[in-house]
Amino acid sequence: MPYDEKSKQRIIKYLEKLKEIRFRVKPDEYARYEAAARRAGYPSMRQFYLDALNEKTDAILNSENGD
**Distance from C-alpha of 17 to C-alpha of 19, rounded to nearest angstrom:** 7
Shortest distance in whole angstroms from residue 2 CB to a second copy? 27
Binding letters toward a second copy, positions 3-42, x by CB under 8 A? ------------x-xxxxxxxxxxx-xx-xx-xx--xxx-
Report the nearest approach of a second copy to the CB of residue 43 (Å): 14
C-alpha distances in angstroms, 52 versus 1, 27, 46, 49, 58? Answer: 41, 19, 10, 5, 10
Comparison of 3 and 23: residue with beta carbon closer to a second copy? 23
